């Protein structure tokens, strides 16, 4: 790792022994949970996730007719709401490390999907109007590299939205969030899935949330990557929306 590497969180010994092993661990984890992912996330968000994602995209500046790159598209939950906003004149492209997640997104949405990583996007410079990423920033290898790639593929005047989880500010809020994500959600998932795969996913989710760098570091990394007016807004104490823009030509 170079001195400019900004890890979203340190290695988590309970899941892998070194940072070099993290990409393969994450890919395998999401490959194993792709079939159950939409069901379990709907349950976790009480069915309100779609409305939140659509509102966040609109507030971040997504408009009809835009060409969108959804990084870490997963099963297409953010992409689905982007399609609703962009309409028939727009285009949504999904990129993800997990081939099983991409298969679900392709089948359910019919969009163009590409296997790839945030730190090395397989798109041309200045080729999209909007870049989105939903709840996957904790899984990249370097914030700086990812943000520089987001900026590179955006056209002048383009917009960026990153949805993430954050830690509640109060000790009681953190304890409740930990209980919900690491204990209650896995317990509820168990009878809905063939194994404890989804439970492992949400336990890992919480462990990455509580280990993740704070919002000021993420905002600073966005500014260092060339984005203008990077900002973070919080909802319900645990949902964070990072927005930024690329300078016009």
CA distance 228 to 245: 5
The answer as to whether 13 is a domain residue is no
The answer as to whether 178 is a domain residue is no
Asked whether 178 and 14 are in contact (CB, 8 A), the reply is no
What is the total count of domains within the chain? Answer: 1
DSSP state string for 97-130: S-HHHHHHHHHHH--EEEE-BTTB--S-TT-EEE
Closest CA to 147 of 221, 97, 79: 221
The answer as to whether 240 is a domain residue is yes
Q: Indicate the average pLDDT of the chain.
A: 91
pLDDT score recorded for residue 41: 80
pLDDT score recorded for residue 196: 63
The answer as to whether 150 is a domain residue is yes
pLDDT score recorded for residue 180: 80
Task: Supply the range of the domain harboring residue 236.
Answer: 19-38+45-167+213-245
Q: How far is CA 178 from CA 107, 186, 208, 240, in A?
A: 33, 12, 11, 17
Q: What's the whole-number mean pLDDT along residues 115-139?
A: 97
H/E run at residue 178? helix 171-179
pLDDT score recorded for residue 47: 65
pLDDT score recorded for residue 194: 58
The answer as to whether 229 is a domain residue is yes
The answer as to whether 54 is a domain residue is yes
> 67-113: per-residue pLDDT in tens?
999 999 999 999 999 999 999 999 999 999 999 999 999 999 999 99
Question: How many residues make up the chain in this entry?
Answer: 249
Asked whether 172 and 215 are in contact (CB, 8 A), the reply is no
The answer as to whether 26 is a domain residue is yes
Predicted TM-score of the model (pTM): 0.93
The answer as to whether 184 is a domain residue is no
192 pLDDT tier (thresholds 50, 70, 90): low
Q: What percentage of residues in the chain have a pLDDT greater than 70?
A: 95
CATH number assigned to the domain comprising residue 231: 3.40.50.150
pLDDT score recorded for residue 199: 77
Asked whether 132 and 153 are in contact (CB, 8 A), the reply is no
């Amino acid at each position: 790792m170079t001195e400019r590497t900004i890890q979203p969180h340190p290695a988590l010994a309970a899941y892998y022994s070194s940072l070099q092993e993290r990409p393969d661990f994450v890919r395998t984890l999401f490959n194993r949970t792709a079939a159950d992912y939409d069901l379990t996330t709907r349950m976790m968000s009480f069915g309100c996730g779609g409305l939140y994602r659509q509102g966040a995209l609109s507030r971040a500046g997504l408009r009809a007719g835009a060409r969108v790159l959804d990084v870490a598209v997963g099963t297409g939950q953010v992409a689905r709401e982007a399609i609703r906003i962009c309409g028939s004149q727009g285009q949504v492209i999904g990129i993800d490390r997990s081939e099983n997640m991409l298969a679900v997104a392709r089948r359910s949405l019919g969009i163009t999907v590409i296997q790839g990583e945030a730190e090395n996007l397989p798109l041309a410079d200045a080729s999209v109007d909007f870049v989105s990423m939903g709840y996957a920033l904790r899984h990249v290898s370097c914030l700086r590299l990812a943000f520089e790639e987001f900026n590179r593929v955006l056209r002048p005047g383009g917009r960026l939205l990153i949805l993430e989880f954050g830690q509640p500010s109060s000790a009681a809020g953190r304890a409740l969030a930990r209980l919900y994500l690491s204990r209650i959600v896995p317990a509820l998932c168990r009878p809905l899935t063939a194994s404890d795969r989804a439970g492992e996913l949400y336990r890992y989710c919480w462990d990455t949330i509580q280990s993740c760098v704070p919002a000021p570091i993420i905002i600073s990394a966005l500014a260092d990557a060339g984005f203008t007016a990077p900002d973070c807004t919080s909802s319900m104490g645990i949902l964070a929306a990072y927005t930024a823009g690329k300078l016009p030509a």
